[in-house]
Amino acid sequence: MRSPLPNHLLTPPKRLNTPDLSLDPSTTSSENVSSSLSSESSLAPPSSSSSPPSPALAPPTPIHLLPYPSPVTPSILPPPTSRKTSFSGRVPAGIARRRLRIVVTGGAGFVGSHLVDKLISRGDEVIVIDNFFTGRKENLVHLFGNPGFELIRHDVVEPILLEVDQIYHLACPASPVHYKYNPTNVMGTLNMLGLAKRVGARFLLTSTSEVYGDPLEHPQKETYWGNVNPIGERSCYDEGKRTAETLAMDYHRGAGVEVRIARIFNTYGPRMCLDDGRVVGNFVAQAIRKQPLTVYGDGKQTRSFQYVSDLVDGLVALMEGEHVGPFNLGNPGEFTMLELAEVVKETIDSSATIEFRPNTADDPHKRKPDISKAKELLNWEPKISLRDGLPLMVNDFRNRILNEDEGKGLK
Protein backbone atom coordinates (compact mmCIF):
# COMPACT_ATOMS: atom_id res chain seq x y z
CA MET A 1 0.00 0.00 0.00
CA ARG A 2 1.21 3.46 -0.82
CA SER A 3 2.27 5.33 2.29
CA PRO A 4 0.42 8.56 3.16
CA LEU A 5 2.03 11.93 2.57
CA PRO A 6 4.00 13.40 5.49
CA ASN A 7 2.02 15.38 8.04
CA HIS A 8 3.61 18.66 6.99
CA LEU A 9 2.04 18.24 3.53
CA LEU A 10 -1.33 16.90 4.67
CA THR A 11 -1.99 19.46 7.40
CA PRO A 12 -2.12 23.11 6.30
CA PRO A 13 -0.66 25.71 8.67
CA LYS A 14 -3.05 27.09 11.24
CA ARG A 15 -1.77 30.66 11.00
CA LEU A 16 -1.55 32.27 7.64
CA ASN A 17 0.19 35.20 6.04
CA THR A 18 -2.85 36.53 4.22
CA PRO A 19 -2.11 39.15 1.57
CA ASP A 20 -4.08 42.35 1.16
CA LEU A 21 -7.02 41.26 -0.92
CA SER A 22 -8.72 44.58 -1.47
CA LEU A 23 -9.98 45.36 -4.93
CA ASP A 24 -8.37 48.04 -7.00
CA PRO A 25 -9.52 51.33 -5.38
CA SER A 26 -10.10 52.79 -8.80
CA THR A 27 -12.85 50.24 -9.50
CA THR A 28 -14.66 49.85 -6.21
CA SER A 29 -16.88 52.91 -6.40
CA SER A 30 -18.51 51.89 -9.67
CA GLU A 31 -19.01 48.31 -8.57
CA ASN A 32 -20.25 49.04 -5.04
CA VAL A 33 -17.61 46.69 -3.74
CA SER A 34 -15.69 47.21 -0.52
CA SER A 35 -13.12 44.77 0.73
CA SER A 36 -10.66 44.00 3.41
CA LEU A 37 -9.13 40.80 4.63
CA SER A 38 -7.53 40.50 8.00
CA SER A 39 -4.12 38.84 8.14
CA GLU A 40 -2.27 36.63 10.59
CA SER A 41 1.39 37.27 11.03
CA SER A 42 3.02 33.93 11.71
CA LEU A 43 2.99 30.31 10.63
CA ALA A 44 2.54 27.72 13.33
CA PRO A 45 3.90 24.20 12.84
CA PRO A 46 1.30 21.49 12.17
CA SER A 47 -0.08 19.90 15.31
CA SER A 48 0.12 16.16 15.86
CA SER A 49 -3.00 14.01 15.98
CA SER A 50 -2.55 13.44 19.72
CA SER A 51 -2.49 17.10 20.73
CA PRO A 52 -5.72 19.01 21.51
CA PRO A 53 -7.14 21.28 18.83
CA SER A 54 -5.52 24.68 18.72
CA PRO A 55 -7.65 27.79 19.30
CA ALA A 56 -9.64 28.75 16.25
CA LEU A 57 -8.50 31.72 14.22
CA ALA A 58 -10.38 34.73 13.00
CA PRO A 59 -10.72 34.01 9.26
CA PRO A 60 -10.29 36.58 6.49
CA THR A 61 -13.14 39.02 6.10
CA PRO A 62 -14.87 38.52 2.72
CA ILE A 63 -15.69 41.29 0.30
CA HIS A 64 -19.16 42.60 1.20
CA LEU A 65 -21.32 43.42 -1.75
CA LEU A 66 -23.30 46.56 -0.91
CA PRO A 67 -26.02 47.45 -0.10
CA TYR A 68 -26.50 44.07 1.61
CA PRO A 69 -24.37 43.00 4.55
CA SER A 70 -22.56 39.71 4.09
CA PRO A 71 -25.08 36.96 4.89
CA VAL A 72 -22.53 34.23 5.49
CA THR A 73 -19.34 35.60 7.01
CA PRO A 74 -16.90 32.70 7.54
CA SER A 75 -17.27 31.49 11.10
CA ILE A 76 -14.60 30.30 13.49
CA LEU A 77 -13.22 26.98 12.35
CA PRO A 78 -13.92 23.98 14.58
CA PRO A 79 -11.49 21.10 14.97
CA PRO A 80 -11.11 19.19 11.69
CA THR A 81 -13.19 16.18 12.74
CA SER A 82 -16.27 18.11 13.83
CA ARG A 83 -17.30 19.19 10.31
CA LYS A 84 -17.42 15.72 8.84
CA THR A 85 -21.09 14.85 8.61
CA SER A 86 -23.14 12.35 6.70
CA PHE A 87 -23.53 14.92 3.94
CA SER A 88 -19.84 15.04 2.94
CA GLY A 89 -20.63 17.63 0.30
CA ARG A 90 -23.53 15.69 -1.18
CA VAL A 91 -27.19 14.94 -0.47
CA PRO A 92 -27.98 11.34 0.60
CA ALA A 93 -31.02 9.67 -0.92
CA GLY A 94 -34.25 10.35 0.95
CA ILE A 95 -33.03 13.56 2.62
CA ALA A 96 -34.27 16.95 1.47
CA ARG A 97 -31.56 19.00 -0.14
CA ARG A 98 -29.95 21.55 2.14
CA ARG A 99 -28.33 24.80 1.10
CA LEU A 100 -24.61 24.24 0.58
CA ARG A 101 -21.74 26.64 1.16
CA ILE A 102 -19.45 26.35 -1.85
CA VAL A 103 -16.10 27.83 -2.83
CA VAL A 104 -15.29 28.31 -6.51
CA THR A 105 -11.65 29.22 -7.11
CA GLY A 106 -11.21 31.04 -10.39
CA GLY A 107 -14.89 31.94 -10.22
CA ALA A 108 -14.41 35.23 -12.09
CA GLY A 109 -13.13 33.38 -15.14
CA PHE A 110 -14.89 32.06 -18.22
CA VAL A 111 -16.02 28.65 -16.95
CA GLY A 112 -16.02 29.60 -13.27
CA SER A 113 -18.49 32.45 -13.66
CA HIS A 114 -20.98 30.21 -15.50
CA LEU A 115 -20.61 27.59 -12.75
CA VAL A 116 -21.27 30.27 -10.12
CA ASP A 117 -24.44 31.29 -11.95
CA LYS A 118 -25.74 27.72 -11.84
CA LEU A 119 -24.93 27.23 -8.15
CA ILE A 120 -26.53 30.55 -7.18
CA SER A 121 -29.63 29.76 -9.24
CA ARG A 122 -30.26 26.56 -7.30
CA GLY A 123 -30.01 28.37 -3.95
CA ASP A 124 -26.49 27.66 -2.72
CA GLU A 125 -24.19 30.14 -0.98
CA VAL A 126 -21.16 30.73 -3.18
CA ILE A 127 -17.79 32.25 -2.32
CA VAL A 128 -15.64 33.16 -5.32
CA ILE A 129 -11.88 33.30 -4.83
CA ASP A 130 -10.01 34.92 -7.72
CA ASN A 131 -6.82 36.94 -8.18
CA PHE A 132 -8.10 38.42 -11.47
CA PHE A 133 -5.02 37.30 -13.39
CA THR A 134 -7.33 36.26 -16.23
CA GLY A 135 -10.71 36.54 -14.47
CA ARG A 136 -12.91 39.60 -14.99
CA LYS A 137 -15.17 41.29 -12.45
CA GLU A 138 -17.53 42.00 -15.35
CA ASN A 139 -18.32 38.28 -15.44
CA LEU A 140 -19.82 38.52 -11.94
CA VAL A 141 -21.21 42.06 -11.77
CA HIS A 142 -24.78 40.81 -12.19
CA LEU A 143 -24.40 39.00 -8.83
CA PHE A 144 -23.19 42.01 -6.85
CA GLY A 145 -25.75 42.58 -4.11
CA ASN A 146 -27.02 38.99 -4.16
CA PRO A 147 -27.12 37.88 -0.50
CA GLY A 148 -25.94 34.37 -1.42
CA PHE A 149 -22.77 35.56 -3.17
CA GLU A 150 -19.38 36.65 -1.84
CA LEU A 151 -16.22 37.67 -3.66
CA ILE A 152 -12.71 37.48 -2.24
CA ARG A 153 -9.72 38.76 -4.15
CA HIS A 154 -7.03 36.25 -3.25
CA ASP A 155 -4.36 34.16 -4.94
CA VAL A 156 -4.75 30.50 -4.03
CA VAL A 157 -1.00 29.99 -4.12
CA GLU A 158 -1.35 31.44 -0.59
CA PRO A 159 -3.42 29.48 1.98
CA ILE A 160 -6.82 30.69 3.13
CA LEU A 161 -9.20 29.49 5.88
CA LEU A 162 -12.91 29.21 5.15
CA GLU A 163 -15.68 26.89 6.33
CA VAL A 164 -17.34 25.25 3.33
CA ASP A 165 -19.04 22.07 2.12
CA GLN A 166 -17.64 21.86 -1.41
CA ILE A 167 -14.63 23.25 -3.28
CA TYR A 168 -14.63 23.60 -7.05
CA HIS A 169 -10.98 24.26 -7.89
CA LEU A 170 -10.93 25.98 -11.28
CA ALA A 171 -8.22 28.57 -10.62
CA CYS A 172 -5.63 28.26 -13.38
CA PRO A 173 -5.01 30.14 -16.63
CA ALA A 174 -6.12 27.77 -19.38
CA SER A 175 -4.39 29.13 -22.47
CA PRO A 176 -0.77 29.07 -23.68
CA VAL A 177 -0.61 32.86 -23.58
CA HIS A 178 -1.10 32.89 -19.80
CA TYR A 179 -0.52 29.59 -18.06
CA LYS A 180 3.28 29.52 -18.22
CA TYR A 181 3.42 32.57 -15.94
CA ASN A 182 1.35 31.16 -13.09
CA PRO A 183 2.16 28.40 -10.55
CA THR A 184 -1.45 27.75 -9.58
CA ASN A 185 -1.60 24.13 -10.73
CA VAL A 186 0.65 22.83 -7.97
CA MET A 187 0.64 25.30 -5.07
CA GLY A 188 -2.98 26.34 -5.50
CA THR A 189 -4.11 22.74 -5.65
CA LEU A 190 -2.05 21.85 -2.58
CA ASN A 191 -3.59 24.70 -0.56
CA MET A 192 -7.16 23.89 -1.59
CA LEU A 193 -6.65 20.20 -0.79
CA GLY A 194 -5.34 21.23 2.62
CA LEU A 195 -8.49 23.30 3.17
CA ALA A 196 -10.70 20.39 2.07
CA LYS A 197 -8.90 18.07 4.50
CA ARG A 198 -9.27 20.46 7.42
CA VAL A 199 -12.98 21.24 7.05
CA GLY A 200 -14.17 17.94 5.56
CA ALA A 201 -15.22 19.44 2.23
CA ARG A 202 -15.58 17.58 -1.02
CA PHE A 203 -12.97 18.77 -3.56
CA LEU A 204 -13.34 18.84 -7.34
CA LEU A 205 -10.23 19.34 -9.48
CA THR A 206 -10.66 20.65 -13.00
CA SER A 207 -7.90 18.90 -14.86
CA THR A 208 -7.53 18.93 -18.63
CA SER A 209 -7.29 16.87 -21.79
CA GLU A 210 -3.73 18.23 -21.99
CA VAL A 211 -2.70 15.44 -19.60
CA TYR A 212 -2.93 13.18 -22.67
CA GLY A 213 -0.35 15.30 -24.51
CA ASP A 214 -0.10 14.39 -28.20
CA PRO A 215 -2.07 11.16 -27.80
CA LEU A 216 -1.22 7.88 -29.46
CA GLU A 217 -4.68 6.56 -28.53
CA HIS A 218 -7.74 7.95 -30.31
CA PRO A 219 -10.27 8.74 -28.97
CA GLN A 220 -8.80 9.11 -25.50
CA LYS A 221 -10.15 7.07 -22.60
CA GLU A 222 -9.46 7.92 -18.96
CA THR A 223 -7.26 4.82 -18.70
CA TYR A 224 -4.79 6.26 -21.24
CA TRP A 225 -1.66 7.60 -19.49
CA GLY A 226 -0.75 10.11 -22.17
CA ASN A 227 2.18 11.09 -24.37
CA VAL A 228 3.58 14.28 -22.84
CA ASN A 229 6.90 16.02 -23.45
CA PRO A 230 7.97 16.86 -19.86
CA ILE A 231 10.35 19.65 -20.94
CA GLY A 232 8.41 21.17 -23.82
CA GLU A 233 6.97 24.66 -24.13
CA ARG A 234 3.54 23.44 -23.03
CA SER A 235 4.81 21.15 -20.27
CA CYS A 236 4.31 23.65 -17.43
CA TYR A 237 0.57 23.27 -18.00
CA ASP A 238 0.44 19.60 -19.01
CA GLU A 239 2.69 18.35 -16.22
CA GLY A 240 1.23 20.84 -13.75
CA LYS A 241 -2.22 19.32 -14.22
CA ARG A 242 -0.81 15.79 -14.04
CA THR A 243 0.86 16.73 -10.76
CA ALA A 244 -2.41 18.22 -9.50
CA GLU A 245 -4.17 14.92 -10.22
CA THR A 246 -1.44 13.07 -8.31
CA LEU A 247 -1.84 15.38 -5.31
CA ALA A 248 -5.61 14.93 -5.33
CA MET A 249 -5.34 11.15 -5.36
CA ASP A 250 -2.68 11.14 -2.62
CA TYR A 251 -4.91 13.29 -0.38
CA HIS A 252 -7.79 10.93 -1.17
CA ARG A 253 -5.84 7.77 -0.34
CA GLY A 254 -3.70 9.12 2.49
CA ALA A 255 -6.02 11.58 4.24
CA GLY A 256 -9.50 10.45 3.23
CA VAL A 257 -10.36 13.64 1.36
CA GLU A 258 -13.34 13.19 -0.95
CA VAL A 259 -12.05 14.21 -4.36
CA ARG A 260 -13.48 14.36 -7.86
CA ILE A 261 -11.34 14.78 -11.00
CA ALA A 262 -12.63 16.18 -14.32
CA ARG A 263 -10.54 16.17 -17.49
CA ILE A 264 -11.94 19.05 -19.52
CA PHE A 265 -11.72 19.19 -23.30
CA ASN A 266 -11.90 22.37 -25.42
CA THR A 267 -14.75 24.58 -24.22
CA TYR A 268 -16.24 27.74 -25.75
CA GLY A 269 -19.01 30.22 -25.05
CA PRO A 270 -19.78 33.73 -23.80
CA ARG A 271 -17.20 35.37 -21.47
CA MET A 272 -14.21 33.68 -23.11
CA CYS A 273 -11.12 35.87 -23.26
CA LEU A 274 -10.92 37.61 -26.60
CA ASP A 275 -7.22 37.15 -27.30
CA ASP A 276 -5.79 34.36 -25.15
CA GLY A 277 -4.79 31.94 -27.91
CA ARG A 278 -7.68 29.48 -27.70
CA VAL A 279 -8.79 28.67 -31.21
CA VAL A 280 -12.56 29.23 -31.04
CA GLY A 281 -12.19 32.61 -29.37
CA ASN A 282 -9.44 33.58 -31.80
CA PHE A 283 -11.49 32.69 -34.88
CA VAL A 284 -14.66 34.40 -33.65
CA ALA A 285 -12.82 37.60 -32.67
CA GLN A 286 -10.90 37.68 -35.95
CA ALA A 287 -14.05 37.19 -38.03
CA ILE A 288 -15.86 39.99 -36.19
CA ARG A 289 -12.86 42.31 -36.63
CA LYS A 290 -12.68 41.50 -40.37
CA GLN A 291 -9.25 39.93 -39.91
CA PRO A 292 -7.95 36.71 -41.54
CA LEU A 293 -8.56 33.57 -39.50
CA THR A 294 -5.16 32.34 -38.33
CA VAL A 295 -4.59 28.61 -38.88
CA TYR A 296 -1.38 27.10 -37.56
CA GLY A 297 0.22 24.28 -39.53
CA ASP A 298 -1.80 22.61 -42.28
CA GLY A 299 -5.09 22.93 -40.41
CA LYS A 300 -5.66 19.19 -40.29
CA GLN A 301 -5.22 18.95 -36.52
CA THR A 302 -8.47 17.89 -34.86
CA ARG A 303 -10.21 19.03 -31.69
CA SER A 304 -13.61 18.57 -30.09
CA PHE A 305 -15.54 21.57 -28.78
CA GLN A 306 -18.15 21.65 -26.00
CA TYR A 307 -20.41 24.55 -25.10
CA VAL A 308 -19.83 25.95 -21.62
CA SER A 309 -23.27 25.09 -20.21
CA ASP A 310 -22.70 21.43 -21.07
CA LEU A 311 -19.42 21.50 -19.17
CA VAL A 312 -21.01 23.16 -16.12
CA ASP A 313 -23.70 20.47 -16.04
CA GLY A 314 -20.98 17.83 -16.14
CA LEU A 315 -18.99 19.41 -13.32
CA VAL A 316 -22.05 19.57 -11.06
CA ALA A 317 -23.00 15.97 -11.90
CA LEU A 318 -19.48 14.86 -11.03
CA MET A 319 -19.40 16.78 -7.74
CA GLU A 320 -22.80 15.41 -6.68
CA GLY A 321 -22.03 11.86 -7.78
CA GLU A 322 -20.28 9.02 -5.98
CA HIS A 323 -17.32 8.43 -8.29
CA VAL A 324 -13.82 9.90 -7.94
CA GLY A 325 -12.90 9.77 -11.60
CA PRO A 326 -11.11 10.94 -13.57
CA PHE A 327 -13.88 11.66 -16.06
CA ASN A 328 -13.53 13.07 -19.56
CA LEU A 329 -15.89 16.02 -20.01
CA GLY A 330 -16.05 17.05 -23.63
CA ASN A 331 -18.06 16.88 -26.83
CA PRO A 332 -16.98 13.93 -28.99
CA GLY A 333 -17.82 15.80 -32.19
CA GLU A 334 -14.44 16.15 -33.95
CA PHE A 335 -13.41 18.98 -36.29
CA THR A 336 -10.21 19.86 -38.11
CA MET A 337 -9.04 23.44 -37.69
CA LEU A 338 -10.02 24.13 -41.29
CA GLU A 339 -13.51 22.74 -40.67
CA LEU A 340 -13.82 24.93 -37.57
CA ALA A 341 -12.76 27.97 -39.60
CA GLU A 342 -15.47 27.20 -42.17
CA VAL A 343 -18.13 26.92 -39.45
CA VAL A 344 -17.04 30.30 -38.05
CA LYS A 345 -17.20 31.84 -41.54
CA GLU A 346 -20.71 30.43 -42.06
CA THR A 347 -21.81 31.84 -38.70
CA ILE A 348 -20.22 35.30 -38.83
CA ASP A 349 -18.74 36.36 -42.17
CA SER A 350 -18.65 34.17 -45.26
CA SER A 351 -16.10 36.50 -46.88
CA ALA A 352 -13.49 35.94 -44.16
CA THR A 353 -10.13 34.65 -45.38
CA ILE A 354 -7.73 32.13 -43.86
CA GLU A 355 -4.07 32.81 -43.15
CA PHE A 356 -1.66 29.93 -42.54
CA ARG A 357 1.24 30.20 -40.11
CA PRO A 358 3.90 27.73 -38.87
CA ASN A 359 2.61 25.37 -36.22
CA THR A 360 3.57 25.69 -32.55
CA ALA A 361 5.80 23.20 -30.73
CA ASP A 362 4.19 20.06 -29.25
CA ASP A 363 0.77 20.93 -30.64
CA PRO A 364 -1.34 17.73 -30.44
CA HIS A 365 -2.38 16.31 -33.81
CA LYS A 366 -5.66 14.82 -32.57
CA ARG A 367 -7.88 15.28 -29.55
CA LYS A 368 -11.25 13.64 -28.98
CA PRO A 369 -12.79 12.38 -25.73
CA ASP A 370 -14.29 8.99 -25.10
CA ILE A 371 -17.15 9.96 -22.76
CA SER A 372 -18.69 6.52 -22.27
CA LYS A 373 -17.66 6.55 -18.60
CA ALA A 374 -19.42 9.88 -17.96
CA LYS A 375 -22.51 8.66 -19.80
CA GLU A 376 -22.71 5.51 -17.72
CA LEU A 377 -21.76 6.76 -14.24
CA LEU A 378 -22.79 10.44 -14.32
CA ASN A 379 -25.70 10.20 -16.76
CA TRP A 380 -24.09 13.11 -18.60
CA GLU A 381 -23.43 13.94 -22.21
CA PRO A 382 -23.26 17.26 -24.08
CA LYS A 383 -26.41 18.61 -25.70
CA ILE A 384 -25.26 21.59 -27.79
CA SER A 385 -23.50 21.12 -31.13
CA LEU A 386 -20.81 23.47 -32.42
CA ARG A 387 -23.11 24.94 -35.06
CA ASP A 388 -25.78 25.60 -32.44
CA GLY A 389 -23.38 26.92 -29.82
CA LEU A 390 -21.30 29.37 -31.84
CA PRO A 391 -24.16 31.85 -32.45
CA LEU A 392 -24.75 31.95 -28.68
CA MET A 393 -21.33 33.51 -28.09
CA VAL A 394 -21.18 35.85 -31.09
CA ASN A 395 -23.31 38.66 -29.59
CA ASP A 396 -21.18 38.63 -26.42
CA PHE A 397 -18.00 38.93 -28.51
CA ARG A 398 -19.49 41.65 -30.74
CA ASN A 399 -20.45 43.79 -27.76
CA ARG A 400 -17.08 43.41 -26.04
CA ILE A 401 -15.11 44.11 -29.22
CA LEU A 402 -17.29 47.16 -29.93
CA ASN A 403 -16.69 48.48 -26.41
CA GLU A 404 -12.97 47.75 -26.77
CA ASP A 405 -12.81 49.66 -30.06
CA GLU A 406 -14.75 52.60 -28.62
CA GLY A 407 -12.29 52.72 -25.74
CA LYS A 408 -9.44 52.96 -28.23
CA GLY A 409 -11.24 55.64 -30.24
CA LEU A 410 -11.66 53.33 -33.24
CA LYS A 411 -15.41 53.79 -33.53
Q: Which residues are catalytic?
A: 237
Closest CA to 362 of 272, 265, 297: 297
Amino acid residing at 161: L
- Asked if 352 and 294 touch (Cβ cutoff 8 Å), the reply is no
Q: Which residues pair with 334 in a beta bridge?
A: 304
Handedness of CA 109, 112, 114, 117 (dihedral sign): negative
Angstrom distance (rounded) from CA 161 to CA 103: 11
- DSSP-derived letter for residue 175 is S
Helical H runs in 122-188? 176-179
Could you give the 3-state DSSP secondary structure of residue 356?
Answer: strand
Closest CA to 77 of 102, 104, 56: 56
Helices 337-347/279-288 angle, 10° precision: 40
Q: Which residues pair with 369 in a beta bridge?
A: 220
